[in-house]
Amino acid sequence: DTGVSQNPRHKITKRGQNVTFRCDPISEHNRLYWYRQTLGQGPEFLTYFQNEAQLEKSRLLSDRFSAERPKGSFSTLEIQRTEQGDSAMYLCASSQTSGGPTDTQYFGPGTRLTVL
C-alpha cells in the first residue's frame, strides 16, 4: 500500500438515500482527516481522527453526517437522507504524528458524490 485509497471513486444517488464512503489511510498513519470540496472551491475540513478517537468536527458536519474509525485503521463517512447540496468531492487524508503539528497530510483520490 503506497498511498491513501478511497472507495468508491464515484457515487450517484437519489435525494433522500443514504451513502457510505470508505477511506484506507497509509499504513501506520495514526491521524485521518475528511474534507469536502465543491466545484471551484478549495477543500473544507469536516472532521479528524487520532487513532479511533474523533477529536474534532466542523460545523459543516450536520447531524446527517457521521464518521467512524472503529479500529484506528480505515474510516467510513456516512451521509443520511442525502440532499442535492451534498454533491461534492469527499477527500480523505492521513498523517503520522511526529510529536508536533507539522506532520504532512497525504490525500486520497477522493469520492465524487452526485445527488440527483
Partner 1 sequence: KQEVTQIPAALSVPEGENLVLNCSFTDSAIYNLQWFRQDPGKGLTSLLLIQSSQREQTSGRLNASLDKSSGRSTLYIAASQPGDSATYLCAVLILTGGGNKLTFGTGTQLKVEL
Chain contacts with partner 1 (rule: CB under 8 A): 4, 6, 31, 33, 35, 40-45, 48, 50, 55-56, 89, 91, 93, 101-110, 112
What's the rounded Cα separation, in Å, for the pair 105 and 74? 16
Closest separation between CB of residue 67 and partner 1, Å?
A: 14
Q: Which is nearer to partner 1, 54 or 80 (CB)?
A: 54
Contact by Cβ (8 Å): 72, 97: no
Contact by Cβ (8 Å): 84, 15: yes
Closest separation between CB of residue 40 and partner 1, Å?
A: 7
Closest separation between CB of residue 91 and partner 1, Å?
A: 6
Contact by Cβ (8 Å): 78, 66: yes
For the chain, state the CA radius of gyration: 14
Q: Which is nearer to partner 1, 80 or 96 (CB)?
A: 96
